[in-house]
């Protein structure tokens, strides 16, 4: 194909309240239209105001049929689940959780030394064949995420490949690319992304241009099809999360923290919760 991906859409995230009163910036959430296939949701949580009340986070809740990916820049998330796992996702760490057939967990954000909490949560869909798979965690500490640096460019590779460097997250059905990218002023960033894959960039600081069209923080840039991404900076620097993946092309039935393929499977999930058979092992 040999085509740079142009900017299809420039989405302004909407403020939403989730969990026990957590204010988030949501770029997109699970919808039957499934426009971001294989991704389902992208949330940005930022708490900077020291006078706000206690941070209560997300008390025990279920997930089925999806993967949740937590990426922290500042502060941390204390995590605990129905399988007995517990831990802290700190700055620069990633937790790639494959909920599969069922998990109950708690996610409680904690302030960092500067008083801030800043992070992202991405939901990745699972194909029908994997929706009821056993839960799996990939917990990657900051030091284990490779960094690729070239002229004016700094990339942390969580999943996928940059200049021959592979990210540590593996075995994900959506074949994802997940990068944190920082560009100095006057830099050109090129990244191959297979044609047919969905690609989005969440610009959270600064400003850049995509094929001549400017994108300024805070916005989600949605790319048109093509096989290469070309992002350039002018006077300003930029920081963004770059995400791409192979669409499954399956119908979805979203219901809160569950995303299945049919309404009957959602009914089953609710029944399993009532009967205490939700958590598989
Ligand atoms: Fe959750």
Predicted model pTM: 0.96
- For a pLDDT cut of 70, what percent of the chain falls above it? 96
* Residue 207 Cα to ligand 1 middle (Å): 31
- Other Cβ atoms less than 10 A from the Cβ of 182: the count is 20
Instruction: Report pLDDT for 51.
Output: 43
Q: Which residues contact 135 (CB under 8 A, 6 or more apart)?
A: 83, 97, 98, 99, 100, 101, 102, 103, 280
C-alpha 216 – ligand 1 centre gap (Å): 29
Output the CA 146–ligand 1 centroid distance in Å: 26
Q: How confident is the model at residue 23 (pLDDT cuts 50, 70, 90)?
A: confident
pLDDT, mean of residues 251-256:
97
- Distance between Cα 81 and ligand 1 center (Å): 10
Beta partners for residue 220, in sequence order: 11, 202
**Distance from the alpha carbon of residue 123 to the mean position of ligand 1, in angstroms:** 10
Q: Which residues does 166 contact at the CB level (< 8 Å), separation at least 6?
A: 146, 157, 160
Residue 268 DSSP code? H
Please, what is the average pLDDT of the chain? 94
CB-based contact 89:145 (threshold 8 Å): no
Ligand 1 centre distance from Cα of residue 147 (Å) = 28
Q: What residue ranges define each of the domains in the chain, with the CATH number in brackets?
A: 7-275 (2.60.120.10)
Average confidence (pLDDT) over 35-48: 90
Q: What is the pLDDT of residue 13?
A: 95
pLDDT of 111 > 60? The answer is yes
Who has greater pLDDT, 110 or 199?
199
Predicted pLDDT at 50:
47
pLDDT band at 263 (very low <50, low <70, confident <90, very high): very high
Rounded to the nearest angstrom, the distance between the alpha carbon of 168 and the centre of ligand 1 is: 22
- 84 neighbors 135 (Cβ within 8 angstroms): no
User: What local confidence, expressed as pLDDT, does residue 180 receive?
Assistant: 98
Distance 232 CA to ligand 1 centre (A): 35
Ligand 1 midpoint to CA 247 (Å): 22
In angstroms, what is the span from residue 151 Cα to ligand 1's centroid?
38
pLDDT per position as a tens digit, 141-183: 999 999 999 999 999 999 999 999 999 999 999 999 999 999 9
Distance 231 CA to ligand 1 centre (A): 32
How large is the average pLDDT for residues 25-33? Answer: 96
Dist. CA 150 → ligand 1 center (Å): 36
Separation between Cα atoms, residue 78 and residue 90, nearest integer Å: 9
**Ligand 1 center–CA 99 separation, angstroms:** 9
| pLDDT for res 109 | 87
pLDDT value of position 220: 98
d(CA 249, CA 252): 9
Cα 97 to ligand 1 centre (Å): 9
239: left (phi over 0), alpha (psi -120 to 50) or beta: beta
CA of 174 to the centre of ligand 1 (A): 19
CA of 86 to the centre of ligand 1 (A): 13
How remote is the CA of residue 121 from the centroid of ligand 1, in Å? 9
Dump pLDDT digits (tens) for 1-16.
789 999 999 999 999 8
Q: Which range has the worst mean pLDDT, 156-165, 210-219, 230-239, 271-280?
A: 271-280
The predicted structure's pLDDT at residue 49: 56
Ligand 1 centre from 223 Cα, in Å?
Answer: 27
């Amino acid at each position: 194909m040999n085509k740079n991906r142009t900017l299809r859409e420039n989405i302004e995230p909407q403020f939403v309240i989730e969990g026990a009163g957590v204010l988030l910036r949501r770029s997109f959430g699970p919808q039957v239209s499934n426009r971001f296939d294989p991704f389902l949701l992208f949330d940005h949580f930022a708490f900077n105001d020291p006078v706000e009340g206690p941070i209560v986070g997300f008390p025990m809740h279920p997930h089925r049929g999806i993967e949740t990916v937590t990426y922290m820049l500042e502060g941390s998330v204390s995590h605990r689940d129905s399988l007995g796992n517990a831990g802290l996702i700190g700055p620069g760490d990633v937790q790639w959780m494959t909920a599969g057939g069922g998990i109950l967990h708690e996610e409680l954000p904690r302030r960092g030394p500067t008083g801030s909490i800043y992070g992202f949560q991405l939901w990745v869909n699972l194909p029908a064949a994997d929706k009821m798979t056993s839960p799996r965690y990939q917990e990657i500490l900051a030091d284990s995420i490779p960094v690729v640096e070239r002229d004016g460019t700094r990339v942390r590779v969580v999943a996928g490949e940059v200049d021959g460097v592979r990210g540590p997250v593996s075995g994900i059905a959506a074949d994802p690319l997940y990068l944190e990218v920082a560009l100095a002023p006057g830099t050109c960033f090129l990244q191959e992304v297979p044609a047919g894959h969905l690609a989005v960039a969440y610009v959270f600081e600064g400003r850049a241009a995509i094929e001549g069209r400017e994108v300024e923080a805070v916005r989600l840039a949605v790319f048109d099809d093509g096989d290469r991404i070309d992002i350039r900076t002018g006077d300003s620097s930029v920081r963004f999360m770059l995400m791409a993946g192979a669409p499954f092309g399956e119908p979805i039935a979203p219901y809160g923290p569950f995303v299945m393929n049919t309404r009957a499977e959602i009914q089953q999930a609710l029944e399993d919760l009532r009967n205490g058979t939700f958590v598989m092992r």
